[in-house]
Every structure is written in structure tokens, then in C-alpha cells.
Structure 1
Amino acid sequence: MKNITKQLPFWLALFICLTPVVSSPTALVIGFLIASLGLVPTEFQLAKITKKLLAYSIVGLGFGIQFEQAIAVTSDGIELIIATILGTLVIGWWVAKWMGLNKETGYLISSGTAICGGSAIAAVAPAIKANDEQIGLSLATVFVLNSIALFIFPVIGHALNLDQHTFGTWAAIAIHDTSSVVGAASAYGEEALTTATTLKLARALWIIPVALFSAFLFRNESKKVTIPYFILFYCAAIGVSDALPQFDMIYQGIFDVAKKALVVCLFLIGCGISVEKLKASGPKPLLFGITLWLAISTSSLAWLMLG
């Protein structure tokens, strides 16, 4: 009875994360608080459950990608998209090495910065066999910077007199998660919102090649490459929803469930983070994330203003 009572806050928090009122960053914080209070059940293999649920969530998100629209937007800004994604990953690799940051943590933060925040981290993590601590630190870093970007980007845009299209493009490239991109762009204007949302959708397609490349880059000593098969199912989901549009209502339902499952994943990941682990990691992950974020923000803005 005592054990059940001790587990009650965990299950209650998990239930709350299933409701619409809890966002991904909030779920991560709730999980962290539950872990800090020592209320996480020890008999469950949370790490194993989380990794499987992450993979299922990413596949489900594939049903929300409008393939033709994403391809069209990608082709319009292909040079900027490729330059910022590859540039962020390469710079991130060397800066993480220079700072002495854990290789997996640095790569996850780089991937989240380069593509689409938490979704990219969730997709790349199984491919490089990252553990919960590395995933949690990466997500926490990205979410902190997301929160800041939501408020300061519109201010900077107005100060520089950026037009709607330019701001929308910049927001889609330099802000990590789609939710913050939408929030910042909607505060700037309707055209900015349309541009930012569509371009961010297009960048999400780059999860596929980045995850596959990541599996090759982080192959083990036997030189065997572990193929992240869930990425293939992610591609299949995009293909099916594009080929059979008459079932759009079903796809939207799957997409909504996948988004909520991803929130639950972040709660479980938060349950694997503790104050001790954060102290042990030090300020390096956040400093690394800020450095990389400033690099992509300033360079992309310069490209758009001078191009």
C-alpha cells in the first residue's frame, strides 16, 4: 500500500501530461520535479520504454507532413536550408570538441538547432544510441533557448524593420521548435506566420537524412551501422498520407496522438534527470547551445538581409 501511495504522484503527473494543458517543455519540467522528489518508480525500465515510445511518436508525426508543400518550399530556399543545416552540424561538432562537451550531447543539441528542436533530438537520439541523461540535457537546453526566442525575435525584427517574409524565413531557420516558431511569427504578422510555418515544415523532412547519417557517424567499433528503421517508417507515413489524401481525418488523428505521445516521452525523459546529474554536467551544454544558436541566428539574418 505504501509503495502504491509513493507511486501516485508519478501516475498523476503522467495523466496530466496527457491533457491539452501541458506542453512539451512543461512535461520535461514536471518529470524533472518528480525525479528530484524521488517519486519515480524504480521497478519500471523507463529508459527502454521511452526509446520505443520516441520511435513510435516520430513515425506518427510523419502523417502530419504535407510532402508536396514541403518539397516546394524546400526547393525555393534550398541553398539557405542546406547551408544552415550542414553549417550548424559541422560548427557544432568542432565547438563541442573544443569545449570538451560529451559528443552525443553536443550532437543532439546541434541537430535540434539545425532542424526542428525537440523533434529532431527525439529522432536522432535512438540513431546515435544516446542515453536519457544526454537526451534530457539536450532538450532542456533547446527548450530554454526556445522560450527566450519566442519573446526577443519579434523585438529584433521590428528594430531592424524586417519585412514579413524575411522575418518568417529567419524565424523558421533560427528558432528551434515549431511551437516557438509559430508563436514568434504570429506575433509579427500573418504573412510571417505562413512563411515560417511552411518553411519549418520543409526543414522537418531533413530529419530523415540527418538521422541516417547520424547512425553511420556514431557506428560502433565493429564498424557496423545500426539503421534507425523507425525513420523508414516515418518516410512511409509521409508517403501514405500523400498518396491517399482521402483519409486525411485519420492521419490528423494519428498526428495528434503522436504529438501527445511525444509530450509523454519528454515527461519520462525528465524523470531521468536529477539535480545531481545537472550539477555534474555543469554549464557546458547551455553555453554550447547559446554559442551555436547565436552563430546560426546572426549568419542566417546576415544572409537574408544582404542577399
Structure 2
Amino acid sequence: MGKSDGRIESETPPAPREARHRSATFVAALPGLAVALVVAGAAALLGQLAPIIGGPVFGILLGVLAAAGIRPLRAERMTAGYRAAGTFVLQASIVVLGTGLSLGEVARVGATSLPVMLGTLAVALGGAALAGRALGLDADTRTLIGVGTGICGASAIAAASAAIKPKDSDVAYAIGTIFTFNIAAVLLFPPLGHLLGLSAHSFGLWSGTAVNDTSSVVAAAESYGGGASSYAIVVKLTRSLMIIPIVTALVALRTKREQAAEGGTRSRLPWRRMVPAFIIGFVLAAALDTVGAVPASWHPGLSALGTFLVTIALAGIGLNLRISEMRKAGARPLLLGGVLWAAVGLTSLGLQAVTGTL
């Protein structure tokens, strides 16, 4: 008893060893997480001063500039924290943002807006694959710009990044592209809507399906007036639900490619690998809001928390990014974003005309 081959067993039990490993990993991540938190705080303040740009965009921008200008921030010991911000904090942000999505509102709005939402999403994803390949962009960059344009800007990019684990430079390309066309939409959509003679309801559907980030949807719809913003926001939140099937599909595709690369057989994927935990959390959070378990008075605070967590995550990605990596792609990501932005906007108007909602 207690012996094997004449030797006393002295191996450390697996559970304590794993616990120590997790603890050491957490401690190693603290310095980088602290820096990301400070950068995110500054970005959030700037985001309040310039809400059209928003804290998340400032987060990745300040992160890149801080890492480029302050040498100690590029130290190897900081990397673990930056990566933790870009993964675990990113996933937590998606769960928190789910508390602002009522599935009851989704059902009410979906009856009239679903054809337009699905059509614009198909154009965004299909266009990203075809045009992005023609421009010579890698698959992750194409995917991130496509989901950012077709679903909900930075939040969709965050969710897709957590699923496919792209390079930090790919995330930066996508965020920069989405930011550029958010500003363009806020400036151009309201006068174009008036020129086309759109009703407040039609403009709300147009901006809700064709403008990227929620903040830009609100800005454009408020500028248009006539109560367009209330419908635009609900459409935008409903559109955000498309994150679930898209991210699930991305995880399944990535897992199958990894299996193929390892030379393994393509066995049936367990649902735990196909459906990430943060997506399950997102759905549960939305379900809690739907049944009234999340008080309405909590919504502003939870929305602010979710946005700040996204800002921390993008600050971490920016801190881990090197400007030299971004120069290689040049203007091609921006060109792809422009093509998709125009195609989605025109598709939304065309489908509204066909379905009688214009």
C-alpha cells in the first residue's frame, strides 16, 4: 500500500496543482490588467466628451499610443494581462451587454424587420468573404469587418474575436474601419434620409440595420428627429441577437479546421465546444431581462459596465499591438469596410421597398 515499484508515491494531487497554476496565471496577469484598466478609464472619459467616437475606440487608440510611447509597457511581463483583457474581460462584456436585450422586444420587432436584418447580414458576410478575398485580406480580418458591419460594430467584433482568436492587428483593422464609417453614417444618413423623404419609422429601420455601433445609431436617429430613435434602438438591439448563431458557427468552423490541421478525424463536436460559455451567458442574461429579473433601473448602469468592459478589453488589445504590424495591410481593410457599408445601406433601403416598410 502506498508503494509502486518499491517507491513511495509522492506526486502532487492534480486538483491542488491546477489550482496553483490558475492562481499563478491570475497573479501574472495583474500588471497588464492594471495598465489596461487605467488606459480604459482615460478612454471612457474621452468617450463621454466625444460620444460619437465612444470609449471602446478611444481604448484601442490610447492603448496603441501608450505602448508605442512608453517602453516599460511593452515588457514581456505585461503581455499576460493584455491577453487576459482581450479574452476573459471581453467575454464578460458580452454577457453583461445581454442584460439590455429583451427577447420580448425582439419578437415584436422581428415580424417586420427580420427580412431586412437577415438580408443586410447576408450581404455583409457574403460581401466580406468575396470582396475581402479579392483585396487579398486574410480570413480573420474579413470576418471581423463583416460581422462588425453586419451586426453591431465593436460589440460584434469583440464577440467574434473571443471566438476565433485573431491577431491583435486584425482586431485593430476592424475597429478602425468600423469607427470610420460610424462617423460617416452619423454625418450622412440624416440628410440622405430627408432627401429620400423617409418617415421616422423607415429611417429608424434603415439606421438600425445599416449603421454599425449602437451609439452611432442613436446619434443618427436623434439627429433625424420625429421619434426615429426609439424604433432604431429596438431594431439595433434585435440585430445584436445575430451574434449568437454567427459566433457559434465561427467556433464550430475554427474547431473543425484545428482538427483537420492536426490530422485527426472529424468527429462530432460536443456542444460545449460549439457554443462558447459567454454566448450561453449572453442568452441567459437576455432571458433574465425578458422575465423582469433585471430591474429597469439597473439598465443604465449595466449598459455602462458592459461598455467599460469592452473598453478595457480593447485597451488590452491596443497595448499588445505594434504599429508596424498594421502598416502591412495599408488601406485595404478601409476599402473593404467602405464597400460593405455602402452595400448594406443600399440593401436595407431596397429590402424595405420590397417588403413595404419604406
| Structure 1 residues 148-202: Cα deviation after superposition (integer angstroms, max 9, x where no partner) | 1111111211222222111111111111000000000000014211121110011
Give the aligned partner of residue 156 of structure 1: 192
5+ residue gaps, structure 2, are 1-33, 49-53, 260-265
Give the aligned partner of residue 204 of structure 2: 168
Give the aligned partner of residue 272 of structure 1: 320
- Distance in 2, matches of 1:251 and 1:195, equals 18
Contact residue 85 and residue 317 of structure 2 kept, 8 A: no
Counterpart of 1:281 (choices 318, 324, 329) is 329
- Distance in 2, matches of 1:217 and 1:86, equals 18
One-letter identity of the residue aligned with 1:33: L
SS of equivalent residue, structure 2 residue 147: helix
- Distance in 1, matches of 2:131 and 2:294, equals 47
Q: What is the aligned residue count?
A: 301
Instruction: Trace 1:195-274 onto structure 2 (pairs within 5 A).
Output: 195-219=231-255, 220-222=257-259, 223=266, 226-227=273-274, 228-245=276-293, 247-250=295-298, 252-274=300-322
**TM-score of the superposed pair, with normalisation by structure 1:** 0.90
Contact residue 63 and residue 251 of structure 1 kept, 8 A: yes
Give the aligned partner of residue 57 of structure 2: 25
The 1:250/1:161 distance shift into structure 2, 3 A limit, reads closer
| Structure 1 residues 210-245: Cα deviation after superposition (integer angstroms, max 9, x where no partner) | 111111233333157543221011111111222243
Mapped pair 1:67 → 2:103: yes
Q: Which moved more, 1:213-222 or 1:257-266?
A: 213-222
5+ residue gaps, structure 1, are 1-7
Contact residue 62 and residue 255 of structure 1 kept, 8 A: no
- Distance in 2, matches of 1:11 and 1:129, equals 21
Give the share of equivalent positions with the same residue, in percent.
Answer: 29
| Structure 1 residues 262-295: Cα deviation after superposition (integer angstroms, max 9, x where no partner) | 1122222222333312211211111111111111
Give the aligned partner of residue 147 of structure 1: 183
- Distance in 2, matches of 1:11 and 1:241, equals 28
For the aligned residue pairs, the C-alpha RMSD in angstroms reads 2.3
Contact residue 150 and residue 180 of structure 1 kept, 8 A: yes
The 1:95/1:249 distance shift into structure 2, 3 A limit, reads same
Give the aligned partner of residue 18 of structure 2: none
Q: Which moved more, 1:29-38 or 1:232-241?
A: 29-38
**TM-score of the superposed pair, with normalisation by structure 2:** 0.78
- Distance in 1, matches of 2:183 and 2:294, equals 37
The 1:246/1:232 distance shift into structure 2, 3 A limit, reads closer
SS of equivalent residue, structure 2 residue 308: helix
The 1:212/1:163 distance shift into structure 2, 3 A limit, reads same
SS of equivalent residue, structure 2 residue 334: helix
